[in-house]
Amino acid sequence: EPEVTQTPSHQVTQMGQEVILRCVPISNHLYFYWYRQILGQKVEFLVSFYNNEISEKSEIFDDQFSVERPDGSNFTLKIRSTKLEDSAMYFCASSAGQPSYEQYFGPGTRLTVT
């Protein structure tokens, strides 16, 4: 069964550094999402992306964050200058759209900012 993949599984970075988290959505999907889960908390929506544009973003998704679909298969989340509070598990998800809007989640990337 097709699945969403994410790399790396764990990333450690120093405060102030840039990180890029990578996702490969399911191949025929059109809608892409990033979510974040701070340790011990619930999963929170960050951003959704469709047709090479951001379709919705949360208040968490400030100017330090950006998303890109650089080619036909990857979907990336960039954090320009990481802060300690960016330490979290980041989940990518994708959806085919009509007729089913079900979102399929990847395994997550654990980001640790030191």
Nearer to other proteins, 75 or 91 (CB): 91
In angstroms, what is the minimal distance from the CB of 48 to other proteins?
6
Whether residue 96 contacts residue 33, with contact meaning beta carbons closer than 8 Å, is answered with: no
Among 107, 111, 113, 114, binds other proteins (CB under 8 A): 107
> Binding of other proteins at residue 95 (CB under 8 A)?
yes
Among 7, 13, 24, 31, binds other proteins (CB under 8 A): 31
In angstroms, what is the minimal distance from the CB of 53 to other proteins?
12
Q: State residue 68 phi and psi, 5-degree precision.
A: -155, 150
Q: Report the alpha-carbon distance of residue 103 to residue 50 in Å, rounded.
A: 13
**Residue 53 burial class via C-beta count within 10 angstroms: exposed 0-12, middle 13-18, buried 19 and up:** exposed
> Binding of other proteins at residue 61 (CB under 8 A)?
no
In angstroms, what is the minimal distance from the CB of 8 to other proteins?
13
Tokens 């550094």 — which residue?
A: 17
Longest dimension (CA), the chain: 43
Distance from the Cα of residue 43 to its chain's centroid: 12
- Give the interface with other proteins as residue ranges (CB under 8 A): 30-31, 33, 35, 42-45, 48, 50, 55-56, 58, 89, 91, 93, 95, 97, 100-103, 105-108, 110
